[in-house]
Copies of this chain bind each other. A is one copy, B any other.
Amino acid sequence: MPNPEALAALTSLLGERLSTSKSDLDLHGRSETHFPPTPPQAVAYPETTGEVQALARICAASGLPMVGWGAGTSLEGHGLAVQGGVVVDFSRMNKVLALRPADMDVTVQPGVTREALNEELRATGLFFPVDPGANASLGGMAMTRASGTTAVRYGTMRDNVLGLEVVLADGRIIRTGTRARKSSAGYDLTGLMVGSEGTLGLVTELTLRLSGLPEATSAGICAFGDVDAAVNAVIETIQMGIPVARIEFACARTAEAFNAYAGLDLPAAPHLMLEFHGSSDSVAQDAARFGEIAADHGGGAFRWSAREEERRALWALRHNGYYAILASRPGTTALVTDICVPISQLAAAVNETAADIADSPVSGPILGHVGDGNFHAILLVDPARPAELEAAQALAHRMVERALRLGGTSTGEHGVGLGKLPYMEAEHGPAWQVMGALKRTLDPQNLMNPGKLVPAM
């Protein structure tokens, strides 16, 4: 596995930016979640597309795997070099290359994080809306087809990447897409690359669609008698065409965790948290219309506000949901699930999951992006009790089976990585072999993030 000539050639190329220090290897061999550490042979810090191309050529010539690395915030072990090789850390490719306000687009290097981009956009009246919570890199977000709370309004990375520059496994550089808002000129290679998790190439540049900052925003929270009532209110809201910018679900256990974490007094009941973007008139109207729908479904009062500090407090609560839930059982770690189902099946999926968790030895509050039918159970596991991890894994397994049975997907937004690989055949059937064939076409030596996403080569 060690390949001294290739590493020497990479050192010639990158100098000190090819690291084999133990701390660097350890740092890039860890994931955010429960996967075992897997240090790579080296970590490369390229600064230009040309360097990435030269790196790919060296790796291709000596059969060395290449694994892209953004901010390291993946939840499914995407960045782990499970077959060895070089982790390509894009943190030095963090420039905003071109900002075009009239076109509402921007070209960035892959290491720019979403928060850094939005900071850069502050004076323009524009923002990049995809918000997975973590301050992920935009390259990483593209590669996992990330989304989050705002996807119900602004779409996922699939909808917000206009074009890419990609270094292929053999060192070829391709550009996909144009800056036109739409095109019918051939296969959608941008769409093929988004969500490919670094298995088809290394992204060196992204052109992203931006959105106008809303003139006004309102946000609020509302309790419901049960999960079905909350979900039916969501369905009706979306069918009525009320343009929610966010519509998030939190189960009764999550509400209790919020209370303990933030000193609140929410009822121990399922909640919806909403946000509306528009003019000051329209966000007030939208909130009022939602309030009527909530009342029709037996919801409590819809407490909403257009005041910035109240809105921020609400979403801080939501974004801290993971930590609030972790704090609800000190000393535990979490196994985070990520199923997504057709919205008509959402109440069934949540109720069955909650009942399954209640019958198990672990606790698992549920929250999610219900406008899309996507939710997460945060399964809390005491690391000292292996039986709990086993029980959590069995619960997660049954959640995926449930999602597929209900017409959904094993992963709404976290990606395949290592955690969802065992479910690809069940989810895609013969189409999974087609994915493998496409991978072999673009990466016949299996050097781009090998061991992920496609059937074993």
Q: List A residues at the B interface (Cβ < 8 Å).
A: 100-105, 125-126, 144-147, 151, 155-156, 158-159, 168, 172-176, 178-189, 191-192, 194-196, 200, 211-215, 235, 238-241, 243, 277-279, 281-282, 285, 289, 338, 340-344, 371-374, 403, 407-416, 420, 423-424, 427-432, 434-435, 437-438, 440-442, 453-454
Closest chain B residue to A235 by CB distance?
B102
Q: Whole-angstrom distance between the alpha carbons of A128 and B338 in the complex?
A: 29
Q: Which residues does chain B contribute within 8 Å of A145, judged by CB atoms?
A: 182-184, 188
Q: Is the CB of A185 within 8 A of B424?
A: yes
Q: Are A343 and B435 in contact (CB under 8 A)?
A: no
Contact A184 B416 (CB under 8 A): yes
Q: Which residues of B contact A423 (CB under 8 A)?
A: 185
**Closest Cβ–Cβ distance, residue A295 to chain B (whole Å):** 18
> Does the CB pair B407–A175 fall under 8 Å?
no
Closest residue of chain B to A278 (Cβ to Cβ) is B241
* CB proximity of A202 to chain B, nearest CB, Å: 15
Interface contact B241-A185, CB-CB below 8 Å: no
Residue among A100, A102, A187 with max Cβ neighbours from chain B (10 Å): A187
Are the C-beta atoms of B373 and A428 separated by less than 8 Å? Answer: no
Q: Are A189 and B344 in contact (CB under 8 A)?
A: no
CB-CB nearest in chain B for A407: B179
Are the CB atoms of B438 and A187 closer together than 8 Å?
Answer: yes
A76 to chain B minimum Cβ distance, whole angstroms, is: 9
Query: What separation, in Å, do the CA atoms of A277 and B241 have in the docked complex?
Result: 9
When A151-B182, A182-B413, A437-B442 are in contact, do A192 and B192 touch as well, CB less than 8 Å?
yes
Q: Is there an interface contact between B185 and A416, defined as CB atoms closer than 8 Å?
A: yes
A409 engages B180 (CB within 8 Å): yes
In the complex, the answer to whether B412 meets A372 with C-beta atoms within 8 Å is: no
**In the complex, what residues of B have CB within 8 A of residue A175's CB?**
428-429, 431
Nearest to A439 among chain B residues (CB) is: B187
Given A159-B159, A243-B243, A438-B441, A180–B342 Cβ distance below 8 Å? yes
Residue among A175, A194, A411, A434 with most chain B CB within 10 A: A434
Interface centre among A173, A182, A403 (most CB of B within 10 A): A182
Distance (Å) between the CB of A217 and the closest chain B CB?
11
Least CB separation from A340: chain B residue: B180
Interface centre among A126, A285, A409 (most CB of B within 10 A): A409
